[in-house]
Structure 1
Amino acid sequence: MSKPPFPPVAIGGDHAGFPIKTMLVERFRDATPAMIDCGTHSEASCDYPDFAVAVAKQLLRGQAVKGIIVCGSGVGVSVAANKIKGIRAAICHDTYSARQGVEHDDMNVLCIGGRIIGPELAFEIVEAFLNAKYVPQERHARRLDKVLEIERNGIGK
């Protein structure tokens, strides 16, 4: 029996993330019903927030279930993506965090530093992220509800 495909995925990254983003698209294109490449399409200098927004739009419109964003360190795209309501993004440079981020925290966007990790590790991390499913155990649901409350109402004064 063959393994079911990964969910639809939106992927994007700036010039620093372009090389690994391109490898990820190539590696996972046939394993998902939709691999939406949100750019960039070259190593010409560009701004990482644009790609955080482009990937987030695909998730929020229901075109993708999960997103991947790559910049030089992963920090910039993570900061930008987490400003968008409905996006739960994290930098993961190991498979455990990529899997647990989804299973415990319902992370829907994986952020990777293209200048931090190599392609083989990136492939493993992405596979762990795409295979993971949110399992709403009571403690996880309680914590996620608190995060969503912060997103809705802020922290007050």
Structure 2
Amino acid sequence: MKVAFGCDPNATELKNLLMKEAEDLGYEVVDFPSDDPIYANVAIRVATSVANGEEDRGILLCGTGIGVSIAANKVPGAYCACVSDVYQAQRATLSNNANLISMGAQVVGPETAKVLMKEYLERTFDPNSRSKPKIDRICEYEQGRA
């Protein structure tokens, strides 16, 4: 699996730590470096790349995880969940088929962030699950089929 990573300057240290952890877990890592304090710029670049299928998943980081999540979710085909606990990280994929997650470097510590990333990346969405009609509805709306 190929995983894209991006962050604002508040989260560079955490991003570097998570990229190393992902490599150690056997994932291919793609870094979207940025010194830009406008977190939306890197979030949009990462989300666009994931939505276009250039990477399988994405991890976005900023101070809270909220800003990059909002920006990423403006990209058609990008579905980013802001996570801060294990259950959210697991359900981001299992219930919501999220292709990106975001975390806050000022919200979760480095060890927690590693666990959240691992839990997210280890899961796959079951297209036969009871969540499928819910995901389909989101995609229909996004595609203009109200």
Q: Structure 1-normalised TM-score?
A: 0.86
From 83, 87, 111, give the equivalent of 2:102.
111
1:78 aligns with 2:69: yes
Q: Is the 8 A contact 2:51 2:76 kept in 1?
A: no
1:100 is matched with 91
Distance, in Å, in 1 between the alignment partners of 2:82 and 2:116 is 11
Q: CA deviation at 1:51?
A: 1.2
The CA deviation string for residues 95-116 of structure 1, in whole angstroms up to 9 with x for no partner, is 1111111011101101000111
Amino acid at match of 2:21: R
1:52 aligns with 2:35: no
> How does 1:8-157 map onto structure 2 within 5 Å?
8-40=2-34, 46-153=37-144
Q: Secondary structure, in 3 states, of the residue corresponding to 2:71? A: helix
Single out whichever of 119-128 and 16-25 deviates more from structure 2.
Answer: 16-25
The CA deviation string for residues 78-136 of structure 1, in whole angstroms up to 9 with x for no partner, is 10001000011011001111111101110110100011110000000000000010012
CA radius of gyration, larger in: 1
Gaps of at least 5 residues in structure 2 are none
Q: Structure 2-normalised TM-score?
A: 0.93
Distance, in Å, in 2 between the alignment partners of 1:120 and 1:138 is 31
Number of residues paired by the alignment?
A: 146
RMSD (Å), alpha carbons: 1.5
Distance, in Å, in 2 between the alignment partners of 1:95 and 1:114 is 16
Moved over 4 A (4+): none
Gaps of at least 5 residues in structure 1 are 1-6
Distance, in Å, in 2 between the alignment partners of 1:37 and 1:79 is 20
Q: Is the 8 A contact 1:104 1:136 kept in 2?
A: no
% identical equivalent positions: 29
Q: CA deviation at 1:68?
A: 0.3
